[in-house]
Amino acid sequence: MDFAADAATYALSLWAIGRSVAVRSNAALIKGASLGAMAIGILAFAIWRAIAAAEPDGGAISGLGLFGAAANLVAAALLARYRDGDANVRSVWLCTRNDLIQCLAVAATGVAVAMTHSRWPDLIVGGLLAAVFLRSSWQIISQAQRERRTAQAAAAAPREYITHSIQPRGRV
């Protein structure tokens, strides 16, 4: 499911590149909102796991985490130069960075779960990841809104035209 969300994020970002600021900022807003929704989902799942007292499989968690980390490391290396771009491009960088952090944290969590035979490492990391995702969501949405306001202000500003007066030259 995570890789499908990543593919949708990349597709939306690629579609928006080269379009107007309004389109790019709207794309970033969509991605920021979806990242926020994912953070809330992770937090809800962690709460449910705490209540249900279900212990996750440490080996499966670590294996999936390492697989995801390898894929996201390649993507992060390709996107690193765009981390300070507009809201649309920066959102792709933040999502990829978050996925890399998530995968490494999940791999380490799997080891901790296997060693302790406890669900608490999984729950703690789930809460921390939700906080990281919420922060990135806020950053993306804030930057997209600033870019939209700046573009709207520039579009609404009166245009100043430079006029040149034609003055006759002396006789030659």
Q: How many domains are there within the chain?
A: 1
CB atoms within 10 A of CB 34: 18
Question: What is d(CA 9, CA 27) in angstroms, rounded to the nearest whole number?
Answer: 9
Domain contains 154: no
Give pLDDT, residue 145. Answer: 92
Domain contains 155: no
Q: Average pLDDT for residues 67-91, to the nearest whole number?
A: 83
Domain contains 158: no
Q: Extract the tokens encoding 142.
A: 């804030």
Domain contains 22: yes
- pLDDT at position 171 over 60: no
Q: What is the pLDDT of residues 23-57, one digit of tens each?
A: 888 888 998 898 899 889 888 888 888 888 777 77
- pLDDT at position 20 over 60: yes
Q: How far is CA 140 from CA 31, 40, 70, 88, in A?
A: 8, 16, 25, 8
Question: What is d(CA 45, CA 15) in angstroms, rounded to the nearest whole number?
Answer: 32
Give pLDDT, residue 160. Answer: 63
Domain contains 157: no
Give pLDDT, residue 159. Answer: 66
Question: What is d(CA 105, CA 77) in angstroms, rounded to the nearest whole number?
Answer: 19
Q: Is 117 helix (H, G, I), strand (E, B) or coil?
A: coil
- pLDDT at position 85 over 80: no
Give pLDDT, residue 93. Answer: 80
Q: Average pLDDT for residues 8-30, to the nearest whole number?
A: 86
Question: What is d(CA 171, CA 96) in angstroms, rounded to the nearest whole number?
Answer: 70
Domain contains 115: yes
Question: What is d(CA 82, CA 139) in angstroms, rounded to the nearest whole number?
Answer: 15
For residue 92, give its domain range: 2-149
Q: Is 31 helix (H, G, I), strand (E, B) or coil?
A: helix
Domain contains 56: yes
Domain contains 160: no
Q: What is the pLDDT of residues 100-150, one digit of tens each?
A: 888 898 899 889 988 988 888 888 888 888 898 899 899 889 988 998 888
Contacts of 78 (CB under 8 A, 6+ apart): none
Q: What is the pLDDT of residues 145-170, one digit of tens each?
A: 998 888 888 888 776 655 555 555 55
